Amino acid sequence: MDEKGAFDAKKLTLEQIDMPLSVCKVADYSGIDIDQPFVFTGRTDEEKSLVCPADLVPDHTIARDDGWRAFRICGELDFSLIGILAGITKVLAENRIGIFAVSTFNTDYVLTKEADFAKAVNVLKEAGYPFIPGTMDSVPGGGKDEKAMSYRDQVFEYVKERYGAEPEYLWRRYPDYAVFRHQDNEKWFGVVMTVQRNRLEPDGEGIADILNVKLAEPMLADILIQQPGYYRGYHMNRGCWISVLLDGTIPFPEICRIIDTGYLATASVQTIKKERPPKEWIIPANPKYFDIIHAFDDKDVINWKQGNGIKKGDTVFMYVAVPVSAILYQCEVEETDIPYSFHREELTIKALMKIRLKKRFDPALFTFDVLNNEYGIFAVRGPRGIPLSLSIALKKA
């Protein structure tokens, strides 16, 4: 503390509170177990408020907002100290993280929404605030039901950053169950739950966070459940749904890949097209309608008829029809869905794509006869995928 009473808040230690909390407005305080830890009440001339563990919210609650997590400043703070909470909230505000603060006689508690909690901890650590992990020893469900470490917060942060999806809390009876859904078709692609381990395996002990994910193929589920940390979907259709332990048994990067798999398995056609990795195509080019043989003589970028399914980042190999009858160019798609309307004879164009020349091929290398006899391609009437053997040959040429 300096001579003006200001205090270096970064010398304080912050402690995570390992439980979901709810912020409520209540009619009265009857039925509230005030002896439980982390129960805060506040009464004014206009309302009665309550902050408590999500599983202790009373039935006569007027309104509730679930999905909060908290940390506290360790120790007892002297009332003369200046700027303790302000320093923390400044860091969070600069990172666009909203808070709900509760002060007690001893210290201050800072709550953030669960989806922002991991980010809040990280930015405060980066700002110099030391953190210690919380404990379940003194909270409801502690002791033999103590929960192991969990990637829950990291999953929330990954889903928010990767897909822009916020957790939804749909069940009053299970306030910490969180659902992630697609914005367009509203299908679920993930459910985070806290469950007793013996629900997953007979000899399991304690509780753990799990992630339920739907896969596209039951066979993939059958393969995964043979590995540690994977189970048949808990409380879900067990054909394609699996449950994934978030306790560190499965590395976090692998969990992210499973989330991505589940996202695509439940996505709309439009989303699948947008999210799929870059793809290679053969597309036809007919000199009858466009001088494709000389199209790249004086420039590397041209507009071309867009084929169904092609998106930015894809690679297109241009098969030039008679009299060439061979693949001449490799191009990268830089832009799609350029508005255009054209119709003449058998040719109709509704949209264009911008393509950039990457490579030229000798017309004698990948002729129609070579494509037919060696790679099983008997016609190129529209955009089509490329066999792996041909893809390798084109890259080596």
Residue 68: predicted pLDDT:
93
Q: Is 130 helix (H, G, I), strand (E, B) or coil?
A: coil
Dihedral angle computed from the Cα positions of residues 165, 171, 177 and 181, in that order, rounded to the nearest 10 degrees: -20
The values of phi and psi at residue 322, to 5°, are -50, 135
Q: What is the pLDDT of residue 4?
A: 43
Domain spanning 147-274: CATH 3.90.1150.30: yes
Query: Of 379, 51, 372, which is closest to residue 390 (Cα–Cα)?
Result: 372
Start-to-end Cα distance in the chain? 71
Q: Provide the greatest CA pair distance for the chain.
A: 89
Positions in the chain whose pLDDT score sits under 70: 1-11, 76-83, 132-148, 237-238, 275
**Residue 269, token pair as written in the block:** 């056609």
Residue 362 has a CB neighbour count (10 Å cut-off) of 11
Compute φ and ψ for 54, nearest 5 degrees.
-60, -30
Alpha helices per DSSP H over the chain: 84-94, 114-126, 152-163, 218-224, 252-265, 269-275, 368-375, 388-396
Q: Write out the residue limits of the CATH 3.30.2130.10 domain(s) in the chain.
A: 9-132
- Residue intervals of the chain classified under CATH 3.10.590.10 are 280-396
For position 139, what pLDDT does the model report? 35
* pLDDT at residue number 296: 95
pLDDT tens-digit map of 318-339:
999 999 999 999 999 999 999 9
pLDDT of 126 reads 85
- The per-residue pLDDT for range 170-201, each reduced to its tens digit, is 888 788 899 999 988 999 999 999 988 888 88
Q: How far apart are CA 339 and CA 325, in angstroms?
A: 29
Residue recorded with tokens 């041909």: 390
Q: What pLDDT score was predicted for residue 142?
A: 38
Strand pairing report for 347-360 and 241-245: unpaired
Delimit the CATH 3.90.1150.30 region(s) of the chain: 147-274
pLDDT of residue 107: 85
CB 229 within 8 A of CB 261: no
Instruction: Give residue 210's pLDDT.
Output: 95
Contact between residue 181 and residue 165 where contact means Cβ atoms under 8 Å apart: yes
Mean pLDDT of the chain: 85
Which residues are paired to 260 by β-bridges?
none
Amino acid, single-letter form, for residue 250? I
Comparing CA positions, the residue from 297, 316, 294 lying closest to residue 305 is 316
Distance CA 176, CA 69 (A): 11
What topology is assigned to 9-132 in CATH?
VC0802-like (3.30.2130)
Q: Which amino acid is at 323?
A: P
Task: Give the per-residue pLDDT at 140.
Answer: 36
Burial, 203: exposed, middle or buried (Cβ in 10 Å; 0-12, 13-18, 19+)?
exposed
**How far from the centroid of its chain's Cα atoms is residue 281's Cα?**
29
Q: What is the pLDDT of residue 78?
A: 63
For the entire predicted model, the pTM comes to: 0.44
What pLDDT is recorded for position 6? Answer: 46
CATH number, domain 280-396, options 3.40.980.10, 1.20.120.140, 1.20.58.340, 3.10.590.10: 3.10.590.10
